[in-house]
């Protein structure tokens, strides 16, 4: 089940997500990538949990694309 990225418990390293980068907040342009690190410590955030993608880009999660796959 995909979520909308506002709950920290829904966002985990390895998930494919769409984020909005800081410079894209006005336009709402989405960037897709794989979560490497969670940067928001609170359990939820109204604008989305802030994450660092595997390529180093940082932004807030807007959509969770792929559910976590069991290893």
31: CATH: 2.30.30
Q: What's the number of domains the chain is made of?
A: 1
Per the domain annotation, does 1 fall within a domain?
Answer: no
Alpha-carbon distance of 13 to 49, in angstroms, equals 12
Per the domain annotation, does 18 fall within a domain?
Answer: yes
Helical (H) or strand (E) element with 19: strand 16-21
Three-point CA angle 54, 26, 36, nearest 5°: 10
pLDDT at 70 over 60: no
Name the token pair of 26: 């006005």
The distance from CA 49 to its chain's CA centroid, rounded to whole angstroms, is 6
pLDDT in tens, 2-58: 678 999 999 999 999 999 999 999 999 999 999 999 999 999 999 999 999 999 999
Q: Could you tell me the pLDDT band of residue 69, with boundaries at 50, 70 and 90? A: low
What range does the domain containing 56 cover? 8-64
Per-residue confidence (pLDDT) for residue 3, from 0 to 100: 73
């Amino acid at each position: 089940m995909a979520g909308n990225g506002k709950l920290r418990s829904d966002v985990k390293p390895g998930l494919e997500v769409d984020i909005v980068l800081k410079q894209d907040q006005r336009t709402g342009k989405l960037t897709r990538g794989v979560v490497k690190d969670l940067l928001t410590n609170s359990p939820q955030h109204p604008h989305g949990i802030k994450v660092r993608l595997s390529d180093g880009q940082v932004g807030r999660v807007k959509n969770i694309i792929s559910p976590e796959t069991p290893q």
